[in-house]
Amino acid sequence: MNFTGLALAEGPETARIRAFLDGAGVDGGRGGAGGTVTLPVGDDAAAFRPPRGTQVVVSCDASVEGIHFRREWMTWETIGYRAAASALSDLAAMIATPVGLVVAAALPPELDVEIAAALGRGVGETASRVGAEVLGGDLVASPGPAFLDVTVLGYAANPTTRCGARPGDELWVTGELGGAAAALRDLERGLEPDPRARRSFDRPRPRIDEALWLGERVEIHAAIDLSDGVMRDAQHLATASEVALEVEAELLPAAPALDGFRRSPAGERLLLGGGEDYELLLAVPARAMRETKRAFADAFDLPLTRVGSAREGKGLTVRGRVDSALPAGFDHFEVGR
Amino acid sequence: MNFTGLALAEGPETARIRAFLDGAGVDGGRGGAGGTVTLPVGDDAAAFRPPRGTQVVVSCDASVEGIHFRREWMTWETIGYRAAASALSDLAAMIATPVGLVVAAALPPELDVEIAAALGRGVGETASRVGAEVLGGDLVASPGPAFLDVTVLGYAANPTTRCGARPGDELWVTGELGGAAAALRDLERGLEPDPRARRSFDRPRPRIDEALWLGERVEIHAAIDLSDGVMRDAQHLATASEVALEVEAELLPAAPALDGFRRSPAGERLLLGGGEDYELLLAVPARAMRETKRAFADAFDLPLTRVGSAREGKGLTVRGRVDSALPAGFDHFEVGR
């Protein structure tokens, strides 16, 4: 069905929600790896059966136009993709297998129905990448900016928390950092970002497969996803685990977009303070990654880097910084003012 | 801690979310009846263990300021309460036991932190009434209206859908209809609603206990919650079950706020078209309620009323109407224009 040219307010409610959910590929998806969906979207609720002996893991992530995204900076597919990736990244941080997600959107009624479909497609693209099904959705009118909330559901025999880091643990990071922040900085300045940075920003990969792979091979004491930047999120991990963390700035794996200026204050700020790369920070026993690092790089074509360690005490220390001023990190409410 | 006088944008992020979730009574609640929460809110995600052999049931419900609620019409507690009640009502319609909910809010940054706490309290009030825990939350800034999305999680051995009504079934309704719509009509006209109607509007009860009680005693073929009004929702049930439904207008249990004018076109419109009472419409085998109706009224001090039946065919017929013009039902996008 082609809805192009029809504003959201003009069509019947079912056609709107249908366009949104069809976009998300509700009947598609490669299906959860073991959590069987027993009742798909379409009734008052959906249902699934988690594998025996597992716990259900749940998290949500909201984003708002003008605060978390701008229509001028990205397509509606990208807006949907990023919202779902951000939420699914929390399942990666729990080393949980995704089952599905539920997505609520509020859109201005004058928008074309095709926009609801595009938003749904973006959400569905992320979901199908990690084997999650779209289990439900709500689409309502907004008299202001567009809103999006994605709730993700998965399972794990024993979810990994932020709390288990121990003195002596090593800190490791998946992938590269600062790429998404570099793209965002350019967009804010009206510049076209470096294509690789743009890709990190538009299509961040929730590290689900990587997390599950590592969880099978290494004893992971604690994990967090780097949604707010390594500076902030390492601090969260230190607080939750009641340990002191030390990160070596020079060890941090910088995205190629930072080539040539990673040791400048501006580059370091992106590297330490830039979030939305959705890489993982892991605390593992000393030397636990020795046999694993190479195999990980081979399996995922992605670096896995030791960046620091935990010891008795509290708080976060970043060694070898160029600029000792702490980046504030990202506060949506400050941006929103 | 007393945040009064502090705008949301002024405090640290953790204090804001804390105020919101403390309001929701995250550590309180009477606890799920059997689905044990294994990891409470505070990490990247929460976790729970559904009882063996059950399916996890999930649904979400979004509401937006200016479309679904207005600050002038109700307190922030009421806004939170109603959003959670609306979402939990979908679990009642599945005859599912609630475990918990996840709530995302977007609020204008100039609002007082106490407002986030009040919103949380409202959500927590509904949750604790039905034994659900608040499993997670996100609080972000909105440059426009306030926005709220509640995702509910529960479990059932065999969730009841909209699809199972069969020819020969009887249709039953819990409680009384039209009260919430009568209050809304008065509010829209700048009048103070009848106190009983106001109560139906402000504090609708998701019929969780009632649904579970009935589910243990009666074979329920199909169920739906009356969020959009009996006219619309009976039509959804007829379509999903591929049967024809007949509702007798005179049998519908009208709320006391409709006394004296339920047989007028205006009263009938509220009775048939008014949603947000969140009562349940159930399809059960003929005579299945014979032994149950009285016990239900005794147990819940609530009427349980036969309102029609199902037969071969399709669509909905309402017999004995005063006004044959079909009420349009509620379309958020039309309201939003």
Is the minimum CB–CB distance between A239 and chain B shorter than 8 Å? no
Residues B25 and B146 in one domain: yes
Is the minimum CB–CB distance between A207 and chain B shorter than 8 Å? no
Is the minimum CB–CB distance between A57 and chain B shorter than 8 Å? yes
Whether residue B233 contacts residue B303, with contact meaning beta carbons closer than 8 Å, is answered with no
Say which residue, A18 or A91, is predicted with more confidence: A91
Does A30 reside within a domain? yes
Does A33 reside within a domain? yes
Residues A226 and A305 in one domain: yes
Residue finishing a domain among A130, A156, A182: A156
Band (pLDDT 50/70/90 cuts) for residue B25 is confident
Distance CA B108, CA B16 (A): 13
Averaged pLDDT score across all residues of chain A:
90
Does B163 reside within a domain? no
Residues B143 and B77 in one domain: yes
The CATH code of the domain that includes B182 is: 3.90.650.10
Does A6 reside within a domain? no
Residues B265 and B315 in one domain: yes
Band (pLDDT 50/70/90 cuts) for residue A2 is very low
CB contact under 8 A, A13 and B90: no
Three-state SS annotation for B28-61: CCCCCCCCEEEECECECCEEEECCCCCEEEEEEE
Chain A interface, mutation test: which of B142, B208, B279, most A Cβ atoms within 10 Å?
Answer: B142
CB contact under 8 A, B109 and A333: yes
Q: For residue B154, which residues of chain A lie inside 8 Å, CB to CB?
A: 45
CB-nearest to A141 from B100, B136, B335 is B335
CB-nearest to A55 from B42, B48, B103 is B48
Distance CA B292, CA A214 (A): 55
Kindly state the average pLDDT of the residues B28-43: 67
Vertex A262: Cα angle to A317 and A69 (nearest 5): 90
Is the minimum CB–CB distance between B93 and chain A shorter than 8 Å? yes
Distance CA B319, CA B337 (A): 33
In one-letter notation, the amino acid at residue A225 is D
Q: How many CB pairs under 8 A join A and B?
A: 263
The DSSP symbol for B257 reads G
Which secondary structure element, helix H or strand E, spans residue B270, and what is its range? Answer: helix B265-273
Kindly state the average pLDDT of the residues A85-90: 97
Kindly state the average pLDDT of the residues B140-152: 96
CB contact under 8 A, B336 and A145: no
| Residues β-bridged to residue B156 | B55
> Is pLDDT above 60 for B329?
no
Band (pLDDT 50/70/90 cuts) for residue B326 is low
Q: How far is CA A299 from the centre of its chain?
A: 21
> Is pLDDT above 60 for B160?
yes
* Percent share of chain A, pLDDT over 70: 92
Q: How far is CA A180 from the centre of its chain?
A: 12
- Which range marks the domain in which residue A98 is found? 13-156
Q: Please say whether the dihedral angle defined by the alpha carbons of residues A288, A294, A300 and A306, taken in this order, is positive or negative.
A: positive
What total of structural domains would you count in chain B? Answer: 2
Q: Is B104 helix (H, G, I), strand (E, B) or coil?
A: strand
Q: Please say whether the dihedral angle defined by the alpha carbons of residues B322, B323, B329 and B334, taken in this order, is positive or negative.
A: negative
Q: How far is CA B132 from the centre of its chain?
A: 14
Does A337 reside within a domain? no
Q: Which residues contact A138 (CB under 8 A, 6 or more apart)?
A: A17, A103, A104, A105, B60, B61, B62, B149
Residues A120 and A44 in one domain: yes
Identify which of A164, A306, A324, A313 has the alpha carbon closest to the alpha carbon of residue A231. Answer: A324
Is the minimum CB–CB distance between A38 and chain B shorter than 8 Å? yes
Q: For residue B65, which residues of chain A lie inside 8 Å, CB to CB?
A: 143
Residue finishing a domain among A156, A188, A206: A156
Q: Which residues contact A153 (CB under 8 A, 6 or more apart)?
A: A48, A56, A57, A58, A98, A99, A100, A101, A102, A135, B56, B58, B153
Q: What are phi and psi of A221, to 5 degrees?
A: -75, -40
Q: Is A334 helix (H, G, I), strand (E, B) or coil?
A: helix
Distance CA B275, CA B183 (A): 11
Which secondary structure element, helix H or strand E, spans residue A102, and what is its range? Answer: strand A97-107
The whole-angstrom distance between A90's CA and the closest CA on chain B is: 5
Tokens, residue B197: 């109607």
Is the minimum CB–CB distance between B317 and chain A shorter than 8 Å? no
Residues B18 and B147 in one domain: yes
Tokens, residue B219: 């074979």
* Percent share of chain A, pLDDT over 90: 80
Residues A184 and A301 in one domain: yes
Q: Which residue in A has a C-alpha nearest to residue B52's C-alpha?
A: A52
Identify which of A3, A143, A8, A125 has the alpha carbon closest to the alpha carbon of residue A65. Answer: A143
Is the minimum CB–CB distance between A131 and chain B shorter than 8 Å? no
Is the minimum CB–CB distance between B66 and chain A shorter than 8 Å? yes
Is the minimum CB–CB distance between B240 and chain A shorter than 8 Å? yes
Kindly state the average pLDDT of the residues B316-337: 66
Q: For residue B159, which residues of chain A lie inside 8 Å, CB to CB?
A: 38-39, 43, 45, 47
The whole-angstrom distance between B309's CA and the closest CA on chain A is: 21
Residues B63 and B111 in one domain: yes
Q: What are phi and psi of A129, to 5 degrees?
A: -60, -30
Q: What are phi and psi of A16, to 5 degrees?
A: -65, -50
What's the pLDDT at A5? 67
Q: What are phi and psi of B127, to 5 degrees?
A: -60, -45
- Which burial class, exposed, middle or buried, applies to B245 when counting CB atoms under 10 A from its CB (0-12, 13-18, 19+)? buried
- Tens digit of each residue's pLDDT (9 = 90 or more) over A293-327: 999 999 999 999 999 999 999 999 999 988 777 55
CB atoms inside a 10 Å sphere around CB A260: 9
Residues A135 and A182 in one domain: no
The DSSP symbol for A236 reads H
What's the pLDDT at A17? 82
Q: Of the ranges A39-48, B34-43, B204-213, which is most confident?
A: B204-213
What's the pLDDT at A327? 53
Does A7 reside within a domain? no
Chain A interface, mutation test: which of B41, B220, B333, most A Cβ atoms within 10 Å?
Answer: B333
Residues B236 and B125 in one domain: no
What's the pLDDT at B327? 53
Does B334 reside within a domain? no
Band (pLDDT 50/70/90 cuts) for residue B17 is confident
Whether residue B278 contacts residue B85, with contact meaning beta carbons closer than 8 Å, is answered with yes
What's the pLDDT at A331? 53
Does B45 reside within a domain? yes
CB contact under 8 A, B225 and A143: no
Identify which of B331, B332, B202, B216 has the alpha carbon closest to the alpha carbon of residue B278. Answer: B202
> Is pLDDT above 50 for B28?
no
The DSSP symbol for B99 reads E
CB contact under 8 A, B64 and A141: yes
What's the pLDDT at A24? 85
Is the minimum CB–CB distance between B326 and chain A shorter than 8 Å? no
Q: Which residues contact B116 (CB under 8 A, 6 or more apart)?
A: B8, B16, B19, B20, B23, B105, B107, B139
Is the minimum CB–CB distance between A105 and chain B shorter than 8 Å? yes
CA dihedral B29, B34, B35, B36 (to 10 degrees): 70
Distance CA A222, CA A283 (A): 5
Q: For residue A225, which residues of chain B lie inside 8 Å, CB to CB?
A: 44
What's the pLDDT at A4? 52
Is the minimum CB–CB distance between B102 and chain A shorter than 8 Å? yes
CB contact under 8 A, B8 and A156: no
CB contact under 8 A, A58 and B141: no
CA dihedral B89, B95, B101, B107 (to 10 degrees): -10
Is the minimum CB–CB distance between B301 and chain A shorter than 8 Å? no
Q: Is B298 helix (H, G, I), strand (E, B) or coil?
A: helix
The CATH code of the domain that includes A45 is: 3.30.1330.10
Residues A249 and A193 in one domain: yes
In one-letter notation, the amino acid at residue A84 is A
Say which residue, B85 or A23, is predicted with more confidence: B85
Place of tokens 């979810």: A159
Kindly state the average pLDDT of the residues A227-250: 96
Residues B143 and B200 in one domain: no
| Residues β-bridged to residue B65 | B69
Residue finishing a domain among B133, B156, B179: B156
Place of tokens 């579970």: B212
Kindly state the average pLDDT of the residues A106-129: 94
Band (pLDDT 50/70/90 cuts) for residue A333 is low
